Amino acid sequence: MTVKFKVKKGDEVVVIAGKEKGKKGTITKVITSESRVVVGGINIIKRHTKPSRTAAGGIVEKEAPLHVSNVALIDAKSGKPTRVGYKFEGENKVRISKRSGEKI
């Protein structure tokens, strides 16, 4: 089951819940099947990996996914978190910021 998200890859977001609350970043990956997003530089975890033929072993730091409900889009006008709404401009459906009414 795929779900339509109001945030997309490349959007500037702020974390609104959890241990990373208040941090800002850009969405690098969207996982629709799990309702999660990966934000660059946020929610860093350490993985201990065994050496293989192609890669050396050691401790690798990478970004773990966050649930989509824990991030909010940043309003371009005010720089604060905002909800996303939709509006029709002629035939096209566009995303708008609920805080300022600006087109995203």
Domain segments of the chain: what residues? 12-97
Pairing of the two strands 12-15 and 71-74: antiparallel
Q: pTM of the prediction?
A: 0.86
For residue 81, the cross-strand partners are 74
Classify domain 12-97 at the CATH class level. Answer: mainly beta
Rg (CA), the chain: 17
Closest CA to 24 of 38, 41, 46: 41
- What pLDDT digit, counting tens, does each position of 25-68 carry? 999 999 999 999 999 999 999 999 999 999 889 999 999 999 99
